[in-house]
Amino acid sequence: MKFKEMVKRGENKTLKPVKSHGTLKRSTLSKLTKRTLGSGNLRAAVALPANEDVDEWMAANTVDFFNEISLLYGLVVDEAKEQFTQPGEGFPPGFEYRWGESNSKKPLRVSSPEYVDYVMTWVEDQLDNEAIFPVLESEDFPENFVDYIKDIYKRLFRIFAILYHRHFHVFEELEAQAHLNTCFKHFLFFCLEFDLIDDEKELQVLKGPVARLKEEYEEQAPA
């Protein structure tokens, strides 16, 4: 079954349950993003809307990207678990992502499906943490909110790298490669707009696509 048919019939599954927005403001911003995406100008879709708070904007988009990546990986999760079972397996050539939180002394060697599950569970926990993503509009975001966001986006980028290097054939078989490419372009444009991945070594895993998209991002800069 092709991807469009799966979506139409509701047979597409997500790795994690779909997250809702914690506030009406974020839900409204998410809808604004979707309307702007429909215009085809991704540079405009990632730009902070006039008179809006940048933390609210990043929070709304983070939930949307989490849901998108959960859907994308849900398309390959069964194959991934069957194919990559040992620590170090299933990562892009020349790379091995290990799992470790800031308080862990030694990162854990895992397979790529395990790594993705760790990342998505961790991101889900961040989104559910009201001290980081407040659910009352009267409450402020933490002063170091962007540090949490950067950590989230770095790890979500790695999932895109795994999808492209190890599972792209699945998207081709499902005729879903255009959806993957559009999601990644939107994600990277957002990262570029707010400088969320500032370690160039992280981007080397998708060097060619990142370089092309950076060029396109610059070409779409407002006059």
Model pLDDT for residues 194-209, shown as the tens digit of each residue: 999 988 899 999 999 9
Task: State how far Cα 12 lies from the chain centre.
Answer: 18
For the packed helices 177-194 and 54-74, what is the interaxial angle rounded to 10 degrees? Answer: 150
The answer to whether 15 touches 73, Cβ cutoff 8 Å, is: yes
Amino acid making up residue 170: V
Query: Mean pLDDT in each 10-residue stretch from start to end of the chain (223 residues)?
Result: 64 80 88 80 91 95 96 95 96 94 78 97 96 91 96 98 97 93 96 94 95 93 75
The answer to whether 177 touches 78, Cβ cutoff 8 Å, is: no
* Helix, strand or coil, per DSSP, at residue 108: strand
**Residue 9 has what pLDDT?**
54
**Residue 186 has what pLDDT?**
96
The answer to whether 61 touches 33, Cβ cutoff 8 Å, is: yes
Distance CA 200, CA 214 (A): 13
To the nearest 10°, report the CA torsion of 90, 96, 100, 102: -140
**Residue 32 has what pLDDT?**
86
Model pLDDT for residues 163-184, shown as the tens digit of each residue: 999 999 999 999 999 999 999 9
Distance CA 149, CA 126 (A): 9
**Residue 169 has what pLDDT?**
95
What are the structure tokens assigned to 200, written together? 């160039």
- End-to-end, the C-alpha distance of the chain in Å comes to 44
Domains recognised in the chain with CATH numbers: 3-81+113-219 (1.20.140.30)
Distance CA 141, CA 146 (A): 10
The three state secondary structure string of 43-65 is: HHHHCCCCCCCHHHHHHHHHHHH
